[in-house]
Amino acid sequence: MRKKIAAGNWKMNNTKAEAEALAKAISAVEIPEDTEVILGVPFVFLSAVKEITAGSKVQVAAQNCHQEESGAYTGEISAPMLTSIDIDYVILGHSERREYFGEDNALLAAKVDAALKAGLKVIFCCGEPLNIREEETHVSYVKKQLQEGLFHLSEAALDDIIIAYEPIWAIGTGVTASKEQAQDMHKEIRDMIAANYGATAAGKMHILYGGSVKPGNATELFGQEDVDGGLVGGASLKAADFTAIIQA
């Protein structure tokens, strides 16, 4: 039975004091036995949040990493740097990184390799923009993202991967995919994994939904057979909202 995962992506938000207060509030939450909680934190707060969450069930993720281990890449952070401060996860391929920073599938494949080599687990994001959804080519669009960014890995390496499906048209817009739309796409993704790696690998893969997840829709979204939790943006910045999502 796959655990449910509530992952928060704080993006470029919070001061140090706000980050610490939010981490303390989430660490104090009674987390269900079958639920894992991950906080995606800005680089500058990783150590502080890791210290606060130590001893709790909350794990910490960076929001990005560079594909090289070291070098003359001013302003960048490498995967070995993250593991050196005991970070558990890294989020890669978020739609905002793809759109605003030009990250393509080949670059993301290299980043995935670097993260896994360093001992990080990866939350790998995929998803389609509105025009692709309207053209009804979203399944092939996401398949290409997975094939080129992730499916070069061995089956064993998939144990350290979580997939987050984000319909870009639903991120921060207030629009949410219906539970049926979410389930349909998650099932398609699971079928893609099965086609490449077999039914066992597909059955083990955690696939999260990311797109305006809120306390009011979390229960019905997470209740779908192939939806294993959420990658939550705005609602993860409010302790009460994220607590409700964890408990959902």
Query: Active-site residues: which are they?
Result: 94, 166
Distance (Å, rounded) from C-alpha 76 to C-alpha 66? Answer: 6
The H or E element containing residue 62 is strand 58-62
- Residue 232 has φ and ψ, to the nearest 5°, of -110, 130
Q: Are 38 and 89 in contact, with CB atoms under 8 Å apart?
A: yes
Residue entry with tokens 């070098």: 71
Give alpha helix (H) positions in the chain: 16-27, 46-53, 79-84, 95-101, 105-118, 130-134, 138-149, 179-197, 199-204, 215-222, 239-247
Residue entry with tokens 């987050």: 164
Closest CA to 92 of 104, 81, 83: 104
Q: Checking DSSP bridges between strand 229-232 and strand 89-92, what pairing results, if any?
A: unpaired
Residue entry with tokens 């099965």: 194
